[in-house]
């Protein structure tokens, strides 16, 4: 007996929308909430505003059966899932305004027995803050940070762990960490997710769950930084880094990740700073990894410019703009940074090949001497080719077409 009939999902982005649609597909009445009117309209037409395999069909079905609808304000529900962005400021301080606004927006409709779950990746202590914000708004209700298991409202943190591009499968199959403000909160949250997930539910405290999620992404960032640092050394001493890593990984206890043009996306390039924020003087390794990864794009720009200079090239082709393969997501994308910086520093022509878009992003389209180009055309016109994203179209390219080109392969696809 789950007694979750209606749920409200706040934030209909890469995580919130698939989550809402999956719950709706299991017969739960789902109210989606977003601050963007265009997003709301699109979803209510049964369409989607992001690219994620399989999501369009699922949303279409859920909307047409009336199980999913979108609005700008929350409706009274048995559970509220918050999946809004947690950006950081220029100073790398986390910005919790979206979470706070979402929490305060549910306060008026909150009723005794309701469950509030934070899915957004958040600094340690945020779930506790949710209790404080709710207590300020609703003095008539008791919260679990004060009332423990007997509280009127349950509050927990269950961080999303899904990989963009594989979200629908990962929501269902991944194990899920669930951190309750009290143990009752964690158990009730488990009951809700068990409606849709097959993975294990791993119960802990809210602060531990916050810490775990940040640690997972920082772990990845530190390991990618290690690979990126090695790639810079290998470049200096004339060693093929891809072969070196491949051979090193034959060791039973070594698994070096892949170097690249830098680290992008809105998670791994951001979340480590939330750990740093908790202990700025005790996070030398995490801070250093961030710096290594952030410095990689400019290292690549230097390499491309040097290659162009040596060969007298007038046209450079940049292959890929997204932050990783086979998606159209440009958030924190190193490929985008490289292309923008290259255009500023190179006075010849830059051709961008990005099979997942129809027009250049604004940051590039305002520049002169840069254009979006087909793969074939770019191969005809460029002397230098910089592979920045390992999209399928580039992985499958006939290598003969690259003969006579100067190649800067930042992903090891053609090396």
* The one segment of 1-9, 59-67, 157-165, 235-243 that binds ligand SAJ by CB under 6 A: 157-165
**Sole binder of ligand SAJ in the list 116, 224, 318, 370 (CB under 6 A):** 224
The residue with tokens 């990845």 is 220
Residue 404 CB partners (closer than 8 Å, separation 6+): none
20, 50, 115, 263: residue in contact with ligand SAJ (rule CB under 6 A): 263
32 contributes a contact to ligand SAJ by CB under 6 A: no
263 vs 351 by CB, closer to ligand SAJ:
263
Sign of the C-alpha dihedral computed for residues 266, 269, 272 and 277 taken in this order: negative
200 included as an active-site residue: no
Instruction: Report the alpha-carbon distance of residue 102 to residue 80 in Å, rounded.
Output: 10
Q: How many binding residues for ligand SAJ (CB under 6 A)?
A: 20
E strand segments, 64-205: 68-71, 79-82, 115-118, 154-157, 176-180, 201-205
Q: Does 176 bind ligand SAJ (CB under 6 A)?
A: no
Output DSSP code: residue 200.
P
> Applying CB under 6 A, which of residues 32, 260, 272, 320 lies at the interface with ligand SAJ?
260
Query: Measured between alpha carbons, how far is 410 from 258 in angstroms, rounded to an integer?
Result: 10
If the CB atoms of residues 218 and 342 are measured against ligand SAJ, the closer one turns out to be 218
Q: Residues near 169 by Cβ (< 8 Å), separated by ≥ 6?
A: none
Residue 241, interface with ligand SAJ (CB under 6 A)? no
Q: Which residue has the tokens 């505003």?
A: 49
Binding-site member from 44, 69, 183, 258 for ligand SAJ (CB under 6 A) = 258
- Is 268 a residue that touches ligand SAJ (CB under 6 A)? yes
Is 267:167 a contact under the CB 8 Å cutoff?
Answer: no
Task: Supply the Cα-derived Rg of the chain in whole angstroms.
Answer: 23
Query: Catalytic residue among 8, 131, 201, 213, which?
Result: 213
| Binding flag, residue 11, ligand SAJ (CB under 6 A) | no
Contact status: 323 vs ligand SAJ (CB under 6 A)? yes
- Contact, 170 vs 160, CB < 8 A? no
213 is catalytic: yes
Give the whole-angstrom CA distance, residue 204 versus residue 282.
24
**Binding region for ligand SAJ (CB under 6 A) out of 74-82, 112-120, 144-152, 259-267:** 259-267
Q: Is 412 in the site for ligand SAJ (CB under 6 A)?
A: no
Instruction: Give the range of 1-9, 252-260, 284-292, 366-374 binding ligand SAJ by CB under 6 A.
Output: 252-260
- The neighbour count for residue 93, using CB atoms within 10 Å, is 13
Residues at the site binding ligand SAJ, with contacts judged by CB under 6 A? 121, 160-164, 216-217, 220, 224, 257-258, 260, 263-265, 267-268, 323-324
Catalogue the active-site residues.
213, 267
């Amino acid at each position: 007996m789950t007694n979750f009939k209606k749920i409200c999902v706040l934030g209909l982005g890469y995580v919130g929308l698939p989550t809402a649609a999956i719950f709706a597909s299991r017969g739960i009445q789902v109210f989606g909430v977003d601050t963007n009117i265009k997003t709301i309209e699109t979803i209510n037409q049964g369409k989607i505003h992001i690219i994620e395999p399989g999501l369009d069909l699922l949303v279409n079905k859920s909307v047409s059966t009336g199980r999913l609808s979108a609005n700008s304000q929350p409706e009274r529900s048995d559970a509220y899932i918050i999946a809004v962005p947690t950006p950081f400021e220029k100073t790398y301080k986390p910005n919790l305004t979206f979470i706070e606004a979402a929490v305060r927006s549910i306060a008026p409709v909150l009723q005794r027995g309701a469950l509030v779950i934070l899915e957004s990746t958040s600094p340690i202590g945020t779930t506790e803050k949710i209790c404080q914000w709710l207590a300020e708004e609703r003095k008539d209700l008791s919260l679990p940070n004060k009332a423990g298991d007997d509280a009127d409202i349950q509050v927990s943190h269950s961080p999303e762990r899904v990989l963009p591009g594989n979200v629908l499968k990962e929501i269902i199959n991944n194990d899920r960490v669930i951190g309750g403000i009290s143990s009752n909160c964690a158990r009730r949250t488990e009951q809700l997710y068990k409606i849709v997930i097959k993975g294990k539910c791993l119960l802990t405290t809210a602060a531990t769950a916050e810490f775990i999620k940040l640690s997972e992404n920082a772990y990845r960032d530190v390991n990618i930084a290690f690979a990126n640092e090695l790639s810079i050394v290998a470049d200096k001493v004339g060693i093929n880094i891809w072969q070196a890593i491949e051979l090193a990984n034959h060791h039973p206890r070594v698994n070096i990740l892949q170097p690249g043009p830098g680290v992008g996306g809105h998670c791994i390039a951001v979340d480590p700073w939330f750990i740093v924020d908790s202990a700025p003087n005790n996070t030398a390794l995490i801070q250093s990894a961030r710096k290594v990864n952030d410095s990689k794009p400019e290292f690549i720009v230097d390499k491309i410019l040097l290659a162009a200079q040596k060969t007298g090239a007038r046209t450079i082709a940049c292959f890929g703009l997204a932050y990783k393969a086979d998606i159209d997501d440009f958030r924190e994308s190193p490929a985008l940074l490289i292309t923008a910086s290259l255009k500023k520093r190179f006075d010849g022509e830059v051709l961008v090949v990005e099979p997942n878009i129809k027009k250049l992003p604004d940051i590039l389209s305002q520049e002169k001497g840069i254009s979006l180009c087909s793969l074939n055309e770019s191969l005809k016109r460029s002397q230098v080719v910089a592979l920045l994203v390992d999209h399928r179209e580039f992985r499958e390219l006939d290598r003969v077409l690259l003969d006579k080109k100067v190649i800067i392969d930042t992903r090891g696809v053609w090396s």
